[in-house]
Structure 1
Amino acid sequence: MSEREPNLEVDVEIRDGRTAVLTVSGELDMETADRLREVLAEQFGQGRRRVVLDLSALDFMDSSGLNVLIQAVIRAREAGGDLYLAGPTPAVRRILEITGVTTTLPPHDAVADALAAAGDAR
């Protein structure tokens, strides 16, 4: 089996110091899940309780990625905040639907919609 480079990028944009928008691109799997987990932990550690995950450039997600999302929403809600999903690709949306994650964490069509749901209308 050939070795491949982990393919995940996470860009962070802070809104009003309270809301973080994380643009996740590439593949969220067993090899890359820790990267997103670290970025989320950093945002929560800096006091951000509302986090929007822009999934419009995420090509693939497996159960490791789902686990990161579930842990993050639990942590955010325990701290009085929430996690918002925006623009998942059809493949990622399908995984979210099949696993029932969309009942707890409904995806929004775009980042602007997720920000509006989070109370940040900018």
Structure 2
Amino acid sequence: MEQNLDVEVEIHDPSTAVVTIQGELDVDTATLLHHHLANQALHGRRHLVLDLSAVGFMDSSGLNVLIRATREARALGGDLHLAAPAPQVARLFDLTGLSLTNAVHENVETALTTLGGACAPS
């Protein structure tokens, strides 16, 4: 079965990556995304920004990957930021409470700015 998901990773700095997701995040594609996110953690990138602007559909499998990735990032002292979700995906985050536990940003730049402040030495 062909997977309708493209994932691109851009390294922002040694501990931060922007992961751009395009397509449908569902039972057929969730494992692919999980592998990409786990690989970032393996390379020490514990701060992840997910650009969701091109995700047209997400089901519970996709939500589970985001929840698992959040847990894994936080265990490493980082976090998972969600950027630019389409209205139907943002509504899913609101209905499931994911928007209460994860920062949801208007765009990638806002997420990186927020993350930069959170990562700054105190």
Whether these two folds match at TM > 0.5 is yes
Name which of 52, 56, 65 aligns with 1:68: 65
Is 1:43 the counterpart of 2:18? The answer is no
Deviation at 1:5, TM superposition (A): 2.4
Q: Secondary structure at the match of 2:27?
A: coil
Name which of 88, 97, 102 aligns with 2:99: 102
Q: TM-score, normalised by structure 2?
A: 0.93
* Runs of 4+ more than 4 Å apart: none
5+ long unaligned stretches in structure 1: none
CA RMSD of aligned residues (A): 1.0
Aligned to 1:59: 56
Is 1:90 the counterpart of 2:72? The answer is no
Aligned to 2:28: 31
Is 1:119 the counterpart of 2:116? The answer is yes
Q: Secondary structure at the match of 1:119?
A: helix
**Number of aligned residue pairs:** 117
Partner Cα separation in structure 1 for residue 102 and residue 32 of structure 2: 21
Identity %: 54
- Residues 9-18 or 33-42, more deviating: 9-18
Aligned to 1:79: 76
Partner Cα separation in structure 2 for residue 105 and residue 18 of structure 1: 18
**Aligned amino acid, residue 5 of structure 1:** E
5+ long unaligned stretches in structure 2: 118-122
More helix by share: 2
Q: Secondary structure at the match of 1:80?
A: coil
Q: TM-score, normalised by structure 1?
A: 0.93
